[in-house]
Amino acid sequence: MRTKPIVHIIGLGPGGPDLVTRGALDLIESVETQFLRTERHPAAVVMPHAQWFDRLYDTAASTDDVYPSIRDAVVRAALSDSEVLYAVPGSPVVAEHSVQLLLADERVEVRVHPAMSFLDLAWARLGVDPVAVGARLIDGYLFAEHLLDLSGSGPVLVAQCDNRFILSDIKLASEEALVDSVTVLHHLGLDDEAIFEVPWDDLDRSFEPDHLTSLWLSSVQRRVRPGRIRGRRR
């Protein structure tokens, strides 16, 4: 019986090459055909021979088109080369839509190799056990959609806060301030790591976020009334 081609999926950790696992480095040494979701990652240097997909983010009509295109390119290569390596930032099982699409693809056998996520660094820096405090994790782009669930629910970590428009959407999602101040987790694991507080009202005008920025709302105790949710402006 013909076996399916194999797609190994690794994560490059949340920061520089020092946070890439030994197992991931061994696969980079041994699997010839290699892909990296984005070259915009501080550990991308460990995969000098990989092809990356950044151009898709620039040329696709919408970001919804990017991930199926990545899946198709990786599967096509696996069908031709029988074994390929696909790498993503952080952990492959945390907020990686292309990994979910590959896992659902019956043309290939997918082997996911666990790695450190930015979440591991976040909990360590904050001194928080997410299970003990019942932390919630959400995507900044979906903040308004989740607002009713979030308010009154305790601590929340918000990922994907990569530009000021998103920070504005988060701040203006509710007519009332959700918390007095927010902890910004910026470039965790890098030399210029910064963790600082900003007042809720200054969230979208006091620092420059990027693809390595997250927010920690230590306690969203205030309840938002449904009529006070603005939703996304864009």
Ligand X SMILES: C[S@@+](CC[C@H](N)C(=O)[O-])C[C@H]1O[C@@H](n2cnc3c(N)ncnc32)[C@H](O)[C@@H]1O
What does the binding site for ligand X look like in residue numbers (CB under 6 A)?
Answer: 14-15, 88-91, 94-96, 117-118, 159-162, 185, 187-189, 211-214
Nearer to ligand X, 145 or 162 (CB): 162
- In the complex, the smallest distance separating the C-beta of residue 123 from ligand X, rounded to whole angstroms, is 12
Nearer to ligand X, 4 or 128 (CB): 128
Nearer to ligand X, 14 or 151 (CB): 14
Give the DSSP H/E element, type plus range, for residue 109.
Answer: strand 109-112
Tokens of 14: 């949340």
- In the complex, the smallest distance separating the C-beta of residue 40 from ligand X, rounded to whole angstroms, is 11
CB 7 within 8 A of CB 109: yes
Residue nearest to ligand X (CB): 90
- In the complex, the smallest distance separating the C-beta of residue 60 from ligand X, rounded to whole angstroms, is 16
3-class DSSP state of 33: strand
Interaxial angle between packed helices 143-150 and 164-172, expressed in degrees from 0 to 180 and rounded to the nearest 10 = 40
CB 7 within 8 A of CB 82: no
Start-end of H helices in 84-208: 97-103, 118-126, 130-133, 143-150, 164-172
- In the complex, the smallest distance separating the C-beta of residue 86 from ligand X, rounded to whole angstroms, is 13
- In the complex, the smallest distance separating the C-beta of residue 90 from ligand X, rounded to whole angstroms, is 2
Nearer to ligand X, 168 or 228 (CB): 168
How many Cα atoms occupy the beta-carbon half-sphere of 1 within 13 Å?
Answer: 2
User: Which residues touch 55 (CB under 8 Å, ≥6 apart)?
Assistant: none
- In the complex, the smallest distance separating the C-beta of residue 197 from ligand X, rounded to whole angstroms, is 16
Nearer to ligand X, 4 or 168 (CB): 168
Q: Which residues pair with 194 in a beta bridge?
A: 186
Nearer to ligand X, 66 or 159 (CB): 159
Of 74, 113, 108, the residue nearest 90 (C-alpha): 113
- In the complex, the smallest distance separating the C-beta of residue 222 from ligand X, rounded to whole angstroms, is 23
Nearer to ligand X, 4 or 40 (CB): 40
Give the DSSP H/E element, type plus range, for residue 79.
Answer: helix 63-81
Q: Are strands 6-11 and 83-88 parallel, antiparallel or unpaired?
A: parallel
